[in-house]
Chain A
């Protein structure tokens, strides 16, 4: 809502300054979004008298003027306007002034070699109109030297945001009422211009749908003269950002903006038969005032006559029957429409309008007759004509809401003590009636009031939220208790562990281009938005890797040598109840150089699958997963290199992580340069630690020193080293506490189809040191275990 101070003062008797009014508006919940003070825009523009005008020596179209700005020192100004001439009065912008239309700062300058001390301005340059054919010509009595803003009459415009619960403030009058309640002045009664109605309304008005249009009031005015509106009306509409069109249209807009009451005027000559509020027929079309054609359905209300639809009820009039400059007879419509149906229709048609905004929030049901009479009176006063009697079809809601209020609730809910008399004054100034025992009757326009809490809000917002004192929340005794859930602790710990491993935490979009989501999709259908903001943000991610891959690609395109990114977030799947199953996940992408080329290390080294494995294990350990029991298995997914990727599982089915090199086909799909390594940890699969206490299990470091023995085996080339390690580990569980591969070799000296795997076995003696015979026996067991896998001890 925008309105000028003058317009507000039409309804509010006040001496308050603009600043005071704005503070009050903010304080009562009508947020001031801006104040435009034309005086500020016009600072530095002064009324000037052109004393002389002479041809510019070097330019045919320019003149050199001397102008008097009232301080006795005529200034020389170069001017290109054809109407500039000696003797005229105009507006001079002095050096330092900013031209409102283009933001240009005026300076003392030389134009084609002639000094110019300012600029004579056109209407358009000062944003006062469209005229740019010449400079502004002021009447002869314009006082030279006066600030043009003062002469013009400065009228600040205030813009407020009206929350959707306050349709009563969608008109200037409602805002004046709220300000009066706040003590900013006195609300003036609505001035009703007198008129005499003569004769019955010649048009039949009906509502055929009492639910969608409970009330349709109207009246005909014949013999009007349409034309431009008077200045006062134009000025008010302009301050509200509304372009004046013609008197009849402007008056309906005045009623809407001034009183929150939309109305419509039809050109009677374009109507035929009864004018009826009814449901549209499916497929019925109407060309609306915005010159677009809308196809309607039977859920929508229209105003129609024998020939068809003339108005999308409560939203927008039709082009065909709108008033024109030559209109002489009009039918005025003031109706009450069901707010919900207006909203639904507007949403379905994608059609917004000032009328819809008001009707869908609920216009004042008590302001139909008054609104109609006000509109009629203004038309008769300004456009002449003879009004008929009003006709009333149906009736608007009339049962007021009565709330049983307890003034003590203001303190209990609002936290501020307001004397009962003051509470009553506030409510009454807003139009509520306080009856016996605090039975509060609400004005019908306040359809937002549901119960006592709403009345507390009315009292507190007018009394002043700034008077609510802070009161500490009661707190439990002692130190605050821990509140984080195991899942939250897991994520917090992992995040810092990953960052400590040299990874940068990214936050990427939850939605992906469909192709990218499908590339990482599972057997479940993806969640795909019906109304995405773009094709790139359409499908919910089934993996964290695509978003990170795209980030790595962006980084590479920007010249980054490497990206080490991780993200902790959700993957979106489906659950049985039609809702989502959102799985907490940690994703890692390692792209580009692991180590840059170096004086020690030589060439740059890319990331490999073992880098991914190391991170996966390290972070799983940080997450408290039993990493010693994990199995390295296959099936990391089609997005990974089939020979350089794996899963980490707890038992054959529970997959805790997948890692490895990204498949070349995936790199191609994402247009990314490889090699890229990736990891995904499935946090929901990590088993929670059960019943863990603070105390660790008892432990004393063994007294006897461990010994190590090396074994090199020739094994089939296809044997997984992990299998050999596990077999060796199991050879003597009591003594063998560690098995570590330290060499793998194939080639010269190793038979075809074989490889040599060397392991270092750590043996921990218990009570007594190992004797030679013990060590020999263990070694035999180790060799036997390896033999079961086809391994033979190398000589």
Chain B
């Protein structure tokens, strides 16, 4: 009996002292292996009488259990230590740079066009398009600017030497207004569209580029008046700038394609050298800034576009997209828009996931 006890104690001590999995395995073989003394002792039980067995078995069984448990525990401990050691060897310098995925961006002009589409879709406007290489009928004549109209000369038009098959002059559209004509001719009335796109004027200085972007708006129905125009622009600008204090001032003006014609100013203040839209332009520290032209569509234009001006009336407006983009997002150099400089594009561009939505707000904050 004492023999087993002392043997067990010796084995447990050896297990505890085992410094490696190999040494532990050797101890296992010594004890629980086929020829280990515990296994051999267990075998002796078979040859005993029941009485003897009852007397001898518990000591042997408990020795087996204690040794097996000690072996498992020691094995786990040794493995854990080995893993720990291995992991320690695998330490890397995580201050080293990881491979960065290139960051792409959406151009502010595109972003603002998406914002326009989103806001105006809520007001029931579809987005219409038209050719940039236009004929003078759509760009001028149908907009009530016949060949001798002085306003034609004011448009700084780029011309091509070509003529259409109908003998019309071919030019680069000077505004998005010809899309009005095309949309009315195609779809008739009632109609609500915006038409964003590239336009061209032979003008180039610090604040003008020969190519820029405009958005045209057109609403034709039976009883649309100046009050609707005012509301539409106010509602748009409030949504676009996400400010409720947008104040518009309408001023009489002149465009051949509208009558009455209205220039739209917005109140702003200057904060930190930047124009911030909002507030009344006559309030202290505020002023008015011109945003675009608009008015009730001239009856002649309606007739050119195949509509009966006795039945239909409505308004049109035109805004500079680059300009409202600059106002909202703080760029100050129009020329940089067209340079393709990744530094500028990364700074002023937008994440592809800044998709404008009404629920999240159409604007993307810096």
Contact = CB atoms under 8 A, between A and B. Distances in A.
Contact of B227 (A29, A361, A453, A468): A468
A599 B225 contact: no
A679 B121 CA distance: 33
A166 B127 CA distance: 35
Interface stretch (A63-71, A558-566, A652-660, A732-740): A558-566
Contacts of B366: none
Contacts of A499: 104-106, 349-352
Interface in B164-183: 164-166, 170, 172
A303 to B, nearest CB: 21
Contact of B131 (A361, A472, A579): A579
A378 interface: no
Interface string A340-382: 1001100100000000000011000000000000000000000
Contacts of B296: 413-414, 453
Interface in A664-695: none
Nearest to A550: B340
B105 to A, nearest CB: 5
Contacts of A454: 259-260
B138 to A, nearest CB: 10
Contact of B346 (A411, A504, A551): A504
Contacts of A469: 227, 230
Interface stretch (A83-91, A228-236, A522-530, A716-724): A522-530
Interface in A133-156: none
Contacts of B229: 415
> How big is the B interface, by class?
35 or more
Contacts of A72: none
Contacts of A456: 259-260
A551 B339 contact: yes
Interface string A475-493: 1100011111100100010
A555 B164 contact: no
A471 B338 contact: no
A460 interface: yes
Given A528-B161, A529-B158, A466 B250 contact: yes
From B134, B166, B227, residue with most partner A Cβ within 10 Å: B227
A28 B251 CA distance: 7
A547 B340 CA distance: 9
B132 A582 contact: yes
A560 B227 contact: no
A570 interface: yes
Contacts of A569: 198
A448 B300 CA distance: 13
A533 interface: yes
A176 interface: no
> How big is the A interface, by class?
35 or more
B261 interface: yes
Contact of A415 (B103, B154, B227, B340): B227
B160 A530 contact: yes
A598 B99 contact: yes
Given A537-B210, A564-B104, A471 B231 contact: yes
Interface in A561-599: 562-565, 568-570, 572, 576-580, 582, 595, 598-599
A248 B162 CA distance: 49
Interface string B182-202: 000000000010000010101
Contacts of B132: 510, 570, 572, 580, 582
Given A164-B254, A504-B349, A483 B125 contact: yes
Given A340-B148, A453-B259, A468 B161 contact: no
A31 interface: yes
Contacts of A530: 159-161
B202 A510 contact: no
A483 B210 contact: no
A502 B101 contact: yes
B148 A460 contact: no
Nearest to B113: A492
A412 interface: yes
B101 A480 contact: no
A26 B341 contact: no
Given A475-B123, A483-B125, A554-B340, A470 B227 contact: yes
Contacts of A197: none
B287 interface: no
B104 A482 contact: no
A510 B131 contact: no
Interface string A538-564: 001000000110011011001010111
Contacts of B163: 578
A650 to B, nearest CB: 25
Contacts of A483: 117, 120-121, 124-127
A506 B101 contact: no
Interface of B is mostly: mixed
Nearest to A574: B162
Contacts of B97: 598-599
A461 B153 contact: no
A601 B338 CA distance: 35
B324 interface: no
Contacts of A558: 341
A507 B109 contact: yes
Contacts of B159: 529-531
A473 B226 contact: no
A347 B153 contact: yes
A555 B340 contact: yes
Contacts of A582: 131-133
A628 interface: no
B12 interface: no
B231 A472 contact: yes
Given A457-B259, A555-B340, A505 B105 contact: yes
A174 to B, nearest CB: 15
Contacts of A500: 104, 352-353
B299 interface: yes
A778 interface: no
B253 interface: yes
Given A480-B122, A510-B211, A413 B225 contact: yes
A184 to B, nearest CB: 15
A496 B352 contact: yes
Interface in B133-155: 133-135, 148, 150-151, 153-154
A29 B260 CA distance: 11
Nearest to A474: B221
Contact of A31 (B162, B202, B251, B351): B251
Nearest to B345: A504
A471 B340 contact: no
Interface string A381-420: 0000000000000000000000000000001111110000
B180 to A, nearest CB: 17
Given A414-B226, A507-B110, A527-B133, 17 more contacts: A164-B254, A468-B250, A470-B227, A471-B227, A483-B120, A483-B127, A484-B127, A499-B350, A499-B352, A504-B345, A529-B172, A531-B158, A533-B203, A551-B341, A558-B341, A577-B164, A598-B97
Interface of B: 96-97, 99, 101-107, 109-110, 114, 117, 120-127, 131-135, 148, 150-151, 153-154, 158-166, 170, 172, 192, 198, 200, 202-204, 210-211, 219, 223-232, 234-235, 249-254, 259-263, 296, 298-300, 313, 337-343, 345-346, 349-353, 355
Interface of A: 26-29, 31, 163-166, 339-340, 343-344, 347, 360-361, 411-416, 448, 450-451, 453-454, 456-457, 460-461, 465-466, 468-473, 475-476, 480-485, 488, 492, 495-511, 527-534, 537, 540, 547-548, 551-552, 554-555, 558, 560, 562-565, 568-570, 572, 576-580, 582, 595, 598-601
16 contacts: A29-B252, A31-B263, A413-B260, A456-B260, A473-B228, A483-B121, A484-B121, A484-B127, A496-B106, A498-B104, A502-B102, A505-B349, A558-B341, A562-B342, A570-B132, A599-B97
The 9 closest A-B pairs by CB, nearest first: A551-B340, A29-B252, A415-B227, A502-B102, A163-B254, A457-B260, A580-B133, A415-B225, A461-B252
